[in-house]
Amino acid sequence: MEKTKVLYITQAIDPFLEGRSFAALMRKLAQGAQESKCEIRVFMPRFGVINERRHQLHEVIRLSGMNLIINDSDHPLIIKVASIPQARMQVYFIDNDEFFKRKRIFEDKDGNFSEDNDERAVFFSRGVLETVKKLGWRPDVIHCNGWMSGLTPMYLKTMYAEDPHFTDTKVVYSSHGENMDDELRSDLIGKLAFDKISGDAITEIETPSVLNINKLAIRYSDGYAHGIETISDEINSYIEESNTVSMPFASEENVVAAHEAFYKTILSDESVLAD
């Protein structure tokens, strides 16, 4: 039986952004899936706070060199990789000097939500999908984690809907306690129009915010997995109203098994997780 291929797209994973429960959970989840005989890939942004020397990041030349057009501007895509020796696991990093060189994650030097976070999210989502295609690796399940990956489900079901690379791919989304009140620039829909995505397909983000990015991700996902025990009432209501298949929050000792079972319910009857 072929191994199930799971792509984890995340804002953080230990040990590259330590001290965050979100990052620790993603390490446990990805490592657990790999130890359960799944074939995995992990992608995250190469935030400037990551110490490249300590973690031995290096550029993957054969994957770098593409340019992504965002809002009618070209942005070079750089792919880096590092290993987690204890887990025998690699993590790929989406990088670009304009978007990720700064020594901060989502806030500017004054502590405000960065003005270009919308374009960073577009670049990250498209960068992952284009890199996975270049790898020639076809995931069975894509598990998006955190608002910065929240445009990915929409891209898969619109711009990449006819792409044979993702024909049978299922998408799971999880939020992880982000500040839902953070707002993005008001012209996000106009920027997505450059990718030929109509406003009718993204009505949730007519008013762009982290909350509404989450709603958009849920609408285009095949399932929602609770990444934290308590999420906003508005997100809970949206999940119920949209009849999205959801996985309840799982305790730390059960989190890997619970996600594997959930992936299995999302996949077709013929596709089951490897024993």
pLDDT tens digit string along 128-172?
A: 999 999 999 999 999 999 999 999 999 999 999 999 999 999 999
Give the domain ranges of the chain.
Answer: 5-266
What percentage of residues in the chain have a pLDDT greater than 70?
96
3-state secondary structure the chain: CCCCEEEEEECCCCCCCCCCHHHHHHHHHHHHHHHCCCEEEEEEECCCCCCHHHHCCEECCCCCCEEEEECCEEEEEEEEEEEEHHHCEEEEEEECHHHHCCCCCCECCCCCECCCHHHHHHHHHHHHHHHHHHHCCCCCEEEEECHHHCCHHHHHHCCCCCCHHHCCCEEEEECCCCCCCCECCCCHHHHHHHHCCCHHHHHHHCCCEHHHHHHHHHHHCCEEECCCCCCCHHHHHHHHHCCCCEECCCCHHHHHHHHHHHHHHHCCCCCCCCC
5-266 fold: Rossmann fold (3.40.50)
pLDDT in tens, 3-30: 899 999 999 999 998 767 789 999 999 9
Binned at pLDDT 50, 70 and 90, residue 216 comes out as very high
**pLDDT score at 274:** 46
Q: Say what the pTM is.
A: 0.95
Residue 275 has pLDDT above 60, yes or no: no
pLDDT in tens, 228-237: 888 889 999 9
pLDDT in tens, 52-99: 999 999 999 999 999 999 988 999 999 999 999 888 999 999 999 999
Q: What integer pLDDT is reported at residue 271 of this predicted model?
A: 41
Q: How far apart are CA 222 and CA 173, in angstroms?
A: 8
Residue 116 scores a pLDDT above 50: yes
Query: Above 80 in pLDDT, residue 1?
Result: no
- Show the tokens assigned to 226: 């609770």
